[in-house]
Amino acid sequence: MRRVNQLDGRAAIFYVHPWEIDPEQPRIAGTGLKTRFRHYVNLSRTEPRLVRLLRDFRWGRVDDVFGLRIG
């Protein structure tokens, strides 16, 4: 994100799935190895990473950042 902001002079967007911020979420029985890996590995790291992103970058609404009119 820093590279995009500084070198390209552009805003960056990222998306966090709601389940990515809950390391204590119930585990779904019967899911395959790939799905379990993708959904559950490193969940405990998401919150500190999100806190760091919020601290290290400026944030704004998409319509303001990109000059869009909503409504």
Q: Which domain holds residue 46?
A: 2-65
Number of independent structural domains in the chain:
1
Q: Which residues of 21-59 are buried (b: 16+ CB within 10 A; e: fewer)?
A: eeeeeeeeeeeeeeeeeeeeeeeeebeeeeeeeeeeeee
- Within a domain: 70: no
In a domain, 38, yes or no: yes
User: Tens of pLDDT along the chain (71 residues)?
Assistant: 888 888 888 888 888 888 888 888 888 899 999 998 988 888 889 989 999 999 999 888 888 888 887 76
Per the domain annotation, does 71 fall within a domain? no
